Amino acid sequence: MGEVKAEELCREEILITVIHRLLVGCRIVACGASSPIPGAAALLTRLRSDNMYVNVLGSRTNNLFTNGGVELFDIAGQGRLDAFFLGGGQIDGQANINLVGTGEYPNNDIRWPGSFGSAYLYYLVPRVILFREEHSRRIFVPKVDFISTPGVSAPEVHRPGGPYALVTPLCHMSFNKDRKRFCLETVHPGHTVEEVLDNTGFDIDITENVSTTSMPDRELLEQLRGPIAMEIAETYPRFAEKVFPEALAVA
């Protein structure tokens, strides 16, 4: 089945497709709160995998944990959680994340929800995918105002986990732990390398020929707009109504 044209897809479907590819090969994936796009990507990967478990926080049908965060942290500590997702009010070029607020702590100009277990999971989960639905210099800053959790650690620090990739509405970047920098891998259709650079407040590595993000094939898109749309609607009904209205109308 041939590749779908970009104009046939909405922005959310492109992002779900990109994250899905980053999850291939994982055994256990967990999604935190307010994560419909990563959640849909994880469920899509499970549908196309032989043996994969997905936990979507807030779901009744896709929830592995009976004791919430306690079990999540326990599995991560045992090295069994393969992938997790983190965002941040600010993210800098070393993949440091700020979930606390802007300005000088503790008298921040703006306060965000806080770090919760992000620092713990960032150290333990091997594929932490950073994800933001806004790509701007307001988010991607030269240096975060407060480090909720660091992207890199000293060589003597035991750290099996850390940043694996960054996915935004403009592009997909990988993270090089040795160079402690992001590298631009692909740019989504309709956007350019120059646009990515203009909207990023830190330096990134760029390969000689940055490719355009590949679109899904027809089979994957049908799966996304069919069973996955229905599954993610259980936890995120408004998101599903916005992105997959036709699927819900048929149901």
Which three-class secondary structure string do you get for 95-162? CCEECCEECCCCCCCEECCCCCCHHHHHHHCCEEEEECCCCCCCCECCCCCCCCECCCCCCCCCCCCC
Q: Return the pLDDT at 1.
A: 60
Q: Return the pLDDT at 182.
A: 98
The pTM score is 0.95
Q: Return the pLDDT at 244.
A: 96
Q: Return the pLDDT at 208.
A: 84
Q: Return the pLDDT at 209.
A: 87
The H or E element containing residue 21 is: helix 11-23
Q: Return the pLDDT at 247.
A: 79
Q: Return the pLDDT at 116.
A: 85
pLDDT, one tens digit for every residue, the chain (251 residues): 678 999 999 999 999 999 999 999 999 999 988 899 999 999 999 999 989 999 998 898 998 887 777 899 999 999 999 999 999 999 999 999 999 999 988 889 999 988 988 999 999 999 999 999 999 999 999 999 999 999 999 999 999 999 999 999 999 999 999 999 999 999 999 999 999 999 999 999 998 889 999 999 999 999 999 999 999 999 999 999 999 998 777 66
Q: Return the pLDDT at 65.
A: 82
- Which residues are within 8 A (CB) of 208 and not within 5 positions of it... i.e. 6 or more apart? none
Domain range 6-250, CATH architecture: 3-Layer(aba) Sandwich (3.40)
Please return the burial class of 194, using the count of CB atoms within 10 Å of its CB with bins 0-12, 13-18 and 19+: exposed
